[in-house]
Amino acid sequence: MEKPRVRIAGTHYLVELDGQDHYVSFRRCSCGRACQAVRLVAEYLANGGRPAPAGIPLPTLTVPKQCPLCGAEVKADHWLDGRKGCGWRCTQDPSHYWYVRLEPMRRWLQANRWSRKAVEQKAA
Ligand SMILES: [Zn+2]
Ligand SMILES: [Zn+2]
């Protein structure tokens, strides 16, 4: 039997085992079991395999002068502070913060889609 290949999918490693996709990250597998995929990833890295990116790259948080979506006043919101900076809240619609904040993540996920097809296209 051919040895299963380890590929990078987003921030995870994708291993196909027994016709099933296993997404491995930090020595844990998406299937929830102590499965072979984790060992295969460790082996792959030991053999000089390219490591997966550690996290989704997000821009630093800053409090804008006005809401980038609707132009309304924004207020710093320290409840939303993250490791990357300071959160803020749109006085018109608090969901605008999340939209602006998550948009880069959404685009990133789209570009690094977890589907096997996209991974294969990238590898080709
Ligand atoms: Zn697994
Ligand atoms: Zn707004």
Torsions phi, psi of 107, nearest 5?
A: -65, -40
CB 112 within 8 Å of CB 10: yes
* Alpha-carbon gap, residue 101 to 104, rounded angstroms: 7
- Whether the pTM exceeds 0.85: the reply is no
pLDDT digits 0-9 by tens, 41-74: 999 999 999 888 776 655 566 788 889 889 999 9
Ligand nearest to the CA of 13: 1
CA-atom Rg of the chain in angstroms: 19
Cα of 42 vs centre of ligand 1, distance in Å, is 13
Cα of 97 vs centre of ligand 1, distance in Å, is 36
Q: pLDDT band at residue 25, thresholds of 50, 70 and 90?
A: confident
Q: Is 18 helix (H, G, I), strand (E, B) or coil?
A: coil
Of all residues in the chain, the percent with pLDDT exceeding 90 is 26
Tell me which residue of 25, 2, 6, 4 sits closest to 14, measured CA to CA: 6
Secondary structure element (H or E) that encloses residue 108, with its range: helix 95-111
Tell me which residue of 76, 70, 122 sits closest to 99, measured CA to CA: 70
Q: The tokens of 11 are what?
A: 């921030």
**What protein residues have CB closer than 5 angstroms to ion ligand 1?**
22, 29, 31, 35, 37
Cα of 121 vs centre of ligand 1, distance in Å, is 23
